[in-house]
Amino acid sequence: MTKRLQVRDVGWSAGSRRILERVSFDVAPGELVALMGRNGAGKSTLLDIVAGLRSSAEGEILLDERSAREWTPTQRARLVSHLPQTVRADLTLTVEQLVLMGRYPHADGWFESAGDRDAAAQAMAECECEAFRGRRVSTLSGGERQRVLLAACLAQRPKLLLLDEPATFLDVDQQLHCFSLLRKQAEDGAACLAVTHDLNLALTFCNRILVLAEGTLARDVSTARALDDPAWLSLFSPRLEIARTPAGRPWVCFQ
Tell me, what's the pLDDT at 109? 66
Q: What is the CA radius of gyration of the chain?
A: 18
Tell me, what's the pLDDT at 255? 84
In this prediction, residues 225-252 reach a mean pLDDT of 93
Tell me, what's the pLDDT at 32? 98
In this prediction, residues 126-130 reach a mean pLDDT of 97
16-20, 171-175, 243-247 — most confident range: 171-175
In this prediction, residues 192-208 reach a mean pLDDT of 97
Gap between the Cα atoms of 28 and 46, Å rounded: 17
Using CA atoms, how far residue 73 sits from 51, 124, 134, 251, in Å, is 11, 25, 30, 41
Q: Is the pLDDT of residue 110 over 70?
A: no
Tell me, what's the pLDDT at 108? 76
Tell me, what's the pLDDT at 90? 84
Tell me, what's the pLDDT at 87? 84
Percentage of the chain beyond pLDDT 90 is 87
Tell me, what's the pLDDT at 154? 98
- Strands (E) in 2-102, as ranges, are 5-14, 17-27, 32-37, 58-63, 66-67, 80-83
Gap between the Cα atoms of 92 and 255, Å rounded: 45
- The predicted-structure confidence for 92-109, as pLDDT tens digits, reads as follows 899 999 999 999 998 876
Tell me, what's the pLDDT at 89? 78
Q: Is the pLDDT of residue 112 over 90?
A: no
In this prediction, residues 162-190 reach a mean pLDDT of 97
Q: How confident is the model at residue 240 (pLDDT cuts 50, 70, 90)?
A: very high
Gap between the Cα atoms of 195 and 161, Å rounded: 11
- The predicted-structure confidence for 1-55, as pLDDT tens digits, reads as follows 789 999 999 999 998 899 999 999 999 999 999 999 999 999 999 999 999 999 9
* Average of per-residue pLDDT values in the chain: 94
Q: How confident is the model at residue 67 (pLDDT cuts 50, 70, 90)?
A: very high
Q: Is the pLDDT of residue 165 over 80?
A: yes
In this prediction, residues 213-227 reach a mean pLDDT of 95
Gap between the Cα atoms of 182 and 223, Å rounded: 16
Q: Is the pLDDT of residue 86 over 90?
A: no
Q: Is the CATH code 3.40.50.300 the one for domain 5-87+156-254? A: yes
Q: Is the pLDDT of residue 122 over 80?
A: yes
Domain residue limits, the chain: 5-87+156-254
